[in-house]
Amino acid sequence: MGVTKKPDLNDPVLRAKLAKGMGHNYYGEPAWPNDLSYIFPVVILGTIACTIGLAVLEPSMIGEPANPFATPLEILPEWYLFPVFQILRTVPNKLLGVLLMASVPAGSLTVPFLENVNQFQNPFRRPVATTVSLIGTAVALWLGIGAALPIDESLTLGLFQSNLIQLSNIKIFQIFFSYI
């Protein structure tokens, strides 16, 4: 049986924080021993059981056997490296491509310092972090899908068939990254 702190709703400070949506961290059930002792082991064992069950029922293949006499037309990395591969493939200056790859985690690390809000606040009340996350996800999906396409369709994702539009998009992309 855990120790809980009942909220005093007559407290004006708590009422003001609840009105702002910030009072949920000031009262409630403690994580130790209630959550950590009773709920987490069940979740961890359930996850392990599901993983083992799926591995037994549907084992994944290791891959195609290698043929040393046939080189693939285009060598692609694993799917989770597609956005980084697309940056390296489309940026003409390779040093700039490496710097762009390094700027992604550096930019992500600066987001908490840009916002002056409580770290426990609702994510939808953190507009800078929410905007950066949504734009970053969209750009990562765009780059990831583009990496699986041929180089001439990679920036437009094959949506535009005009060669003039594709060349202008590539030129705009190159000009944009040459000024960074």
Question: Domain check: are 107 and 140 in the same one?
Answer: yes
Asked if the structure places residue 50 within a domain, the reply is yes
Please say whether the beta carbons of 164 and 155 come within 8 A.
no
111 and 174 share one domain: yes
Residues 148/82, Cβ–Cβ less than 8 Å: yes
Give 150's pLDDT tier (boundaries 50, 70, 90): confident
87 close to 147: Cβ distance less than 8 angstroms: no
Residue percentage of the chain with pLDDT more than 90: 6
**Looking at the structure, do residues 141 and 107 belong to the same domain, yes or no?**
yes
Q: How confident is the model at residue 1 (pLDDT cuts 50, 70, 90)?
A: very low
Band (51; pLDDT cuts 50, 70, 90): very high
Please give the tally of structural domains in the chain.
Answer: 2
Mean pLDDT, the chain, integer: 76
What is the predicted pLDDT for the residue at 50?
Answer: 95
Domain that holds residue 39: 12-57
Q: Is residue 140 part of a domain?
A: yes
Q: Provide the CATH number for the domain around residue 19.
A: 1.20.5.510
